[in-house]
Structure 1
Amino acid sequence: MRYVVGYTATERGRDAVNLAAVIARTQGAELDLVMVDPEHSPYTVVYPPESGYRDLLEEQLETWLREGLDLVPGSVPAAGHIRNADSDAHGLIDAAEELGAGLIVVGAASNGIFKRFTIGSVANALLHAAPVPVALAPHGYSRTAPLTRITCAVGNRRGANDVLEAAVDTAARSGLPLRLVSLVALDAPSRDENAVTEARMHADDRLARAQQLAAGRCPVTAVVVQGRTIENAIDELEFDDGEVMLIGSSRLAGNNRLFLGATASKILRSLPVPMVVVPRNFRGSTTGTAPSQSEVTE
């Protein structure tokens, strides 16, 4: 199992490394820290690039990459890569595909507060295009111990089965408890007095399906949480410090691609723990396998 980590020499990069290391320790995975070297462009500081400038830039990137690798706990295998691409998102997606990674991990924008999320341009691009799950580390994420629980948001729209199967497989790999959550926004125009009852029935159905898929490999529970808004409902949930939340892509997403829908965006604004967004029609866990490689830089 391999994870690609979008590393930058910033707090956001450190948050991403910390989250990736926590998940890797839980799942027995290897990390590939990737720094993207922007391709030649008339919008760069020096254009056309002078050889001296390129040499300095490459030397600086290698220094930053070594610093990033130093952040990874010794118990987690890690390699570093410098990739040329026209954007950070493209570089990370290409690296994930070439390395056979099952997860891309990035940090939230640096202006996030209270360990909540503010989505930057790189994360936003990934959340609308990546072919593998994307994990988002909240601002200031500093946990080092393994995960303690997986929470999965379940809905009744297309893609709900994809994220459920991924959540079960992910939890079962390490025997972590899996909690299914159905969120009910009572002020939504489509909601009526039966909304909570319907949500409970749906949650019970998803619970039965998850228990069938888990086949005793991990404990599974389900809860329905209501609030005036989705954000209020999230605030009513209790979260462990060692928890991550999985959510599926919008029904507008193409096959095997991410697309962050309106509900996921609302959840993200209030969520105090890392979020993993699963592509539509994705098969497998959020910890895909790949052959081992020993490459350090490219």
Structure 2
Amino acid sequence: MSPIVTVGVDGSPESRAAARWAADEARRRAATLDIVFVREVDPHPHPYTTLYDPDKESSWAQTLLREIAAEATESHPGTPVTTRLLSGYAAQLLPEAAADSDLLVLGTRGLGAVAGFFIGSVGLPTVAHLNRPVVLVRSPEQSTAATPVDAGDVIVGLKLNRPADDLLAFAFEAAAGRSARLRVLHTWDLPPAYGVRPIAAPAGAEAELSRERSDALDAALRPWREKYPTVEVVCEAVIGRAAHHLVEAADGASLVVVGRRLRRTPIGARIGAVAHAVMHHATVPVAVVPHD
């Protein structure tokens, strides 16, 4: 089956930016660009909604889909483009629409508000439940991504105590497809006793632990460097909070890649704290990649 990049649109500046990003990504992957508009259906219409004309909205949505498809075809003539107008609940239909896709692209305003019908109860569950990578893209006015978009680094956050082949595969492919440098960021903390007075860290302990982390990071990435010999890789093992360092490193990057563990909790699927914070605060495209 040929690769597919799906993008959800609603006419907002953020969703148009997402459509342009998705078209570029489809071109890089030699994939089909699948453009989806979900027309929300109110299960409990208010009496005053009699002024609402679903036929007019459908007509407007079809026009929007044709317009975005035409822009994508003009920018990337060899990229196949399909469009779909769906009616129902976006939180349910978007994951279903992207079930066979390589990734789903959405527009975002940041700070947890995802554009248009992707706000709150739709956008976050989509990221949390879809077993495919989801990329969140801001409008040009809100973004600090590199210009052109392929000029900046690809940033990926990595934990050394958990295998994350899907995460690293996505990050290396993204860097290779953009001819970009890949910055692999690993954060760590000193053992708790070192932060409790009056116990002091032994002389050189921090430097020794830093070397150990850096060596472990190099070892974890060695097979990936061999698989992608053309990708320049920069490894950084730093003390501190992962979300803070990732958001700081994101400025001027072309893409930030974070992981989301495929796990169920008593309250359902969830997004990890680091991914959640980066989604909220990074001003460049953010890819959330599910992994075991």
TM-score normalised to the size of structure 1? Answer: 0.73
Match of 2:155 among 151, 154, 163: 151
Q: State the distance in 1 between where 2:38 and 2:285 align.
A: 23
Give the 5 Å matches for 1:1-298: 1-39=3-41, 41-43=43-45, 53-72=53-72, 74-76=74-76, 77=79, 78-85=81-88, 87-97=89-99, 100-109=100-109, 112=110, 118-119=113-114, 120-121=119-120, 122-139=122-139, 140-141=142-143, 145=148, 147-148=150-151, 149-158=153-162, 160-173=164-177, 175-184=179-188, 194=206, 196-214=210-228, 216-227=229-240, 229-234=241-246, 236-237=248-249, 239-241=251-253, 243-250=254-261, 252=263, 259-281=270-292
Aligned partner of 2:261: which letter?
Answer: S
Q: State the distance in 1 between where 2:146 and 2:176 align.
A: 22
Q: 1:230 to 1:146 in 2, by over 3 A?
A: closer
Choose between structure 1 and 2: higher helix proportion.
2
Aligned partner of 1:209: which letter?
Answer: P
Contact 2:5–2:25 (CA under 8 A) maintained in structure 1: no
Q: Unaligned 5+ residue runs, structure 2? A: 196-204
The structure with higher relative contact order (CA 8 Å, sep 6+) is 1
Q: 1:73 to 1:245 in 2, by over 3 A?
A: farther
Q: 1:176 to 1:154 in 2, by over 3 A?
A: same
The Cα shift of 1:159 comes to 5.0
Contact 1:181–1:203 (CA under 8 A) maintained in structure 2: no
Contact 2:155–2:246 (CA under 8 A) maintained in structure 1: no
Secondary structure of 2:74 counterpart: coil
Tell me the equivalent position of 1:287: none
Secondary structure of 1:41 counterpart: coil
Aligned residues: 265
The Cα shift of 1:217 comes to 4.4
Q: State the distance in 2 between where 1:278 and 1:201 align.
A: 25
Q: Aligned Cα RMSD in Å?
A: 3.5
TM-score normalised to the size of structure 2? Answer: 0.74
Task: Give the number of the structure whose alpha-carbon radius of gyration is greater.
Answer: 2
Q: Unaligned 5+ residue runs, structure 1? A: 282-298
The Cα shift of 1:233 comes to 2.2
Contact 1:234–1:270 (CA under 8 A) maintained in structure 2: no
Q: State the distance in 1 between where 2:214 and 2:246 align.
A: 16
Percentage identity across aligned positions? 22
